[in-house]
Amino acid sequence: MQQDILINIEAGERRVAILRDKKLEWYFVERVSEKRIVGNIYKGVVTSVLNGMGAAFVDFGLGKNGFLYVDDIIPQDVDEDDAEPAPRKKNNRHRHNTRISDIVKKGQEVMVQAEKESLGTKGARLTTHLSLPGRYLVLMPSLGRNGVSRKIKDDKERSRIKSILNEIKLPDGIGLVARTAAEGCDKRDILRDVNYLLDTYNKINKAFKEQQAPALLFEEYDIGLKMIRDFLNKDTVSIMVDEKQEFKRLKAFTQRIAPKYRNRIGFHNANLPLFEKFNIEAEIDRLFERKIFLKCGGYITIEQTEGMIAIDVNSGRFTGKKNLGDTIFKVNREAAEEIARQLRLRDIGGIVIIDFIDMELAAQRKETLSILQEALKKDKARTNIISFSELNVVEMTRQRVRKSLESVSYENCPYCRGKGMVKSDEAMVTLVLRKLKSFIKTNRKKKDIEVCVHPKIASRLVNQDAPAIDNLKRLFRRRVLVVSDETLHIEEINIK
């Protein structure tokens, strides 16, 4: 499978698109003005300890305190053959029956890593279980043993890599986990990565001893370097960069960490913009649409709320050629793969509810679930399918470490105030008449009344709804003047 990495640099924004066989599979945006903190390591100070929550709040220098759960301090449960700690369960933060006040105290200095961005009113989630990713390995100071990513399936290759790792002498308590990129790489590459990671960790420890809290000890790579480190592999045909200085920087970085791929980086200097050359600009624009059409003619809708993501599958204009059951099955199969892709592209996480079209056959439900599970394997964020009910509803979670693509690129509409809807003209006319009647009754001495409304509503009031205004004039013996004001919100009414 051929892979292309496209990096677009603008004055205030960096964008990365990753294509697999010319199809958009990943999309990332980094705003220059917005500081990303996930992966950064800090020297922080505990400001409060709450046994009831099983958490401590830590001042790590960014204004809003981060929070540190008891499970993020005590020894972690790590899958022997995985680079990620075992997923935490929300109702299982006190599984060791350990009081957090027995581990940390107010005023104590701690070395923490940002695990999740600050989201809404929540501060950043922190952990003392550090992980330093390299090109081929992840160094985990609190792991104490070595492992191999379970995404490397070949048993012979797993044994070879594990054997190399076990030959490496490491300080007590430090463990290494081989990333997927380690598959097929030689011992020299692995040792180079180990030396780089140990050197980085030693510098972090030195800074912790020397610097006054709160302080930044280590800053995670920016989006350009991170893409080279995490996505560059043998399937990569090209890495195209459209800004000269960034091209030189990434070329030098590639020379240092993966020299055999350095000639795959190219500078895009054509008049046609990079993303337009690869025909993906229009597709990126569609990532913000609520409705996504499938090739078969069906479609899915994605609704994001603060607490969860609801996804609905519809047959649309697809009628099929055989029977209804086969038609539904085809739409659901295509939707399962596209849903996994959209979750990656939009970078949305949390609780996800997927409502597939009803399938009566258990075999069809099983295959649809299998397609979804296989498609989710491409995701670098952790995903977990909890259930697939007989009502054809899937409950799942996707790791959320930062704001979704939509929340980075959009803000609540100041016009509809985030509702997504405004009152209809008919509803507004009724509301104006009701408020006007109330105003007249409470201002009995006022003979001349002015009603200021949006032009659309004003037009209704002086044309098709004029009889209603005339009726109020006669009933209360008042003079009513309707004033059109284009500066008003369509739901705004000023009566004076």
| Model pLDDT, residue 407 | 62
pLDDT at 113: 94
pLDDT at 80 over 80: no
Set out the domains of the chain in order of their start, with CATH numbers: 3-33+224-281 (3.30.420.60), 41-219 (2.40.50.140), 289-409 (no CATH), 425-495 (3.40.1260.20)
Q: What is the mean pLDDT of residues 44-73?
A: 90
- The answer to whether residue 208 scores a pLDDT higher than 90 is yes
Tens of pLDDT along 448-474? 999 999 999 999 999 988 998 898 888
Confidence class for position 81, pLDDT limits 50, 70, 90: very low
Distance CA 396, CA 404 (A): 17
DSSP per residue, 192-259: HHHHHHHHHHHHHHHHHHHSPSSEEEE----HHHHHHHHH--TTEEEEEESSHHHHHHHHHHHHHH-G
Supply φ then ψ for residue 146, to 5 degrees: -105, 155
What count of residues does the chain have? 496
In 3D space, the residue among 16, 120, 67, 20 whose CA is nearest the CA of residue 402 turns out to be 120
Q: Which residues contact 39 (CB under 8 A, 6 or more apart)?
A: 113, 114, 133, 220, 221
User: Which pLDDT score, from 0 to 100, does residue 164 have?
Assistant: 92
* Nearest in space to 179 (alpha carbons), one of 270, 82, 102: 82
The pLDDT value recorded for residue 256 is 85
Q: What is the pLDDT of residue 89?
A: 44
Query: Tens digits of per-residue pLDDT, 389-424?
Result: 888 899 999 987 666 666 666 666 766 666 667 788
> Which pLDDT belongs to residue 42?
96
The secondary structure element, H or E, covering residue 137 is strand 137-140
Residue 110 confidence (pLDDT) above 90:
yes
Cβ-contact 344, 394 below 8 angstroms: no
Buried-state track 394-424, b at ≥16 Cβ within 10 A, e below 16: bebbbbbbbbbbebbeeeeeeeeeeeeebee
Residue 285 above 60 pLDDT? yes
pLDDT tens digit sequence for 145-190: 888 988 888 899 999 999 999 999 888 888 999 988 888 888 888 9
- What pLDDT, on a 0 to 100 scale, did the predictor assign at position 326? 84
Q: How confident is the model at residue 482 (pLDDT cuts 50, 70, 90)?
A: very high
Return the half-sphere exposure (C-beta side, CA atoms, 13 A cut-off) of residue 290.
6
Share of the chain above pLDDT 90, in %: 41
Least confident among 33-42, 90-99, 101-110, 355-364: 90-99
